[in-house]
Structure 1
C-alpha cells in the first residue's frame, strides 16, 4: 500500500476540517472547537473550522501549514507544522474574528492558553497529526512525520515540539515511537474543568 505525501491546497479544506476536529477532541466527546463554536452540530463546527483554514491571518489552522497523506489518491491523514513566531495566540484570535465568530473567544481560550508552555521561536511546532480510522497502523502518520522533519531540516530547524493532552495515551505512545521525549508536563484545574483532561504535555525531538 503506497503512501504519498503532498502539500495541502485550498481544495483540501473540508478534509482538513474533519481531521482538525477529530484531533482536537482527542478521544473526548467535545474539544476546543466545540467550545469556541458554541456546541453546534458537527456540520456547523466543521463549516467554521473550514473557514479558519483559509483566513488571511495565518493561524496554526491555515491550510498552508498542512501536509496530507494519500493512498490511491484518497486523503487519509494530516500533519500540521507551524512557526510559533507567525502562528500564535494573536493570529488565532484574528482568524476567529475574520470569520465573524466568538465574541467571547478570549474567555473561552483562557483555560487553554493559561495552561501552556513558553515556546521558543526557534522551534517548529507540530499539531493535528491524525489519520482516518480505516487506515490506522499502515504507516500514514510515520510517512507524514518523516516528510515534515525533512522539510523542517531544509528550513533550518533542528528541533520540533508538540503539545498533547495528558491522557491521550495512543498519541503519546506514537510520538514516543517516533523519537519524541517528554520535556515538561503541566496540570491545570481550570483546564480539567473545561476540557476534561488534567492538563498538557510538551514533547520534543532533535534532528
Structure 2
C-alpha cells in the first residue's frame, strides 16, 4: 500500500472534522468539543467543526494545520500539527466567536483545563490523528507523523509533543513505537468523573 502525505486543503474538510471529533473523544462518549459546543449530536458537531476549521482566524483546528495521508487517490488518514505560540487559547476563542459561539464554553471545559499541559514556545504539537479502519497500519501512522515532524523542523522546532489521554493504549503505543517518550502526566478526579479517564499524558520526541 503506497502512502503519500500532503498538506490539507479546504476540500479535505470532511475528514478533518471527523478527526477533530473522534480525536477529542478518543473512544469516549463525550470529548472536548461536545462540551465546547454544548451538544453531543454528531451531525451538529461535525457541522460546527467544519466551520471552525475554515474560519479566517487560524486556531489549532484550522485546516491549514493538517496533513492528509493518501492511498490510491483516497484520503486514508490525517493529523494536525500546530504551533502553540501562534494558535493560542485567545485565537481559539476568536475563531469560535467568528462562527457564533461565545466564551461561556470555558466553564464547561474546566475539567479538561485541569489536565492540559503548559507547552513552551519552542515546542511543536501533534494532535487529532485519525486513520480510517481499512488503512490502519503502522506505516500510515509513521508517514503522517514523519511528515508533520519534517514540517516542525523546517519551522525551526527541535521538540515535538503530543497529548494522549491516560488509558488510550493504542495511541500511546503508536507514538512510543515511533520514538516518543512520556515526559509527564496530569491526573484529576474531576477529569475522571467527566470523561471516564484519569487524565492526560504528554509524549515528546527531540528532533
**TM-score bracket for this pair, using the shorter chain length:** over 0.9
The structural deviation recorded for 1:37 is 2.1
Root-mean-square deviation (CA, aligned residues, Å) is 1.3
Q: How does 1:2-41 map to 2 (within 5 A)?
A: 2-41=2-41
For residues 19-46 of structure 1, the C-alpha deviation after alignment (integer angstroms, 9 at most, x for no partner) is 1111111111221112222224211110
Q: How many residues are aligned here?
A: 207
Distance 1:169 1:102, change over 3 A: farther
Match of 2:92 in 1: 92
Q: Distance in 2 between matches of 1:154 and 1:103?
A: 34
Q: Distance in 2 between matches of 1:102 and 1:50?
A: 17
5+ long unaligned stretches in structure 2: none
Q: Distance in 1 between matches of 2:127 and 2:61?
A: 9
Q: Distance in 1 between matches of 2:102 and 2:135?
A: 34
For residues 108-164 of structure 1, the C-alpha deviation after alignment (integer angstroms, 9 at most, x for no partner) is 122222222221101001101111111111621111111111121121111100111
Q: How does 1:1-207 map to 2 (within 5 A)?
A: 1-102=1-102, 104-137=104-137, 139-207=139-207
Q: Distance in 1 between matches of 2:140 and 2:206?
A: 21
Q: Distance in 2 between matches of 1:97 and 1:20?
A: 18
8 Å Cα contact 2:5-2:70 kept in structure 1: yes
Q: Distance in 2 between matches of 1:19 and 1:62?
A: 12
| TM-score, scaled to structure 2 | 0.95
Q: Distance in 1 between matches of 2:194 and 2:95?
A: 22
The structural deviation recorded for 1:103 is 5.1
The structural deviation recorded for 1:102 is 4.9
Q: Distance in 2 between matches of 1:102 and 1:47?
A: 17
5+ long unaligned stretches in structure 1: none
8 Å Cα contact 2:126-2:160 kept in structure 1: yes
8 Å Cα contact 1:36-1:102 kept in structure 2: no
Q: Which runs of 4+ in 1 moved over 4 A?
A: none
| TM-score, scaled to structure 1 | 0.95
Q: Distance in 2 between matches of 1:41 and 1:47?
A: 10
Distance 1:156 1:103, change over 3 A: closer
8 Å Cα contact 1:6-1:67 kept in structure 2: yes
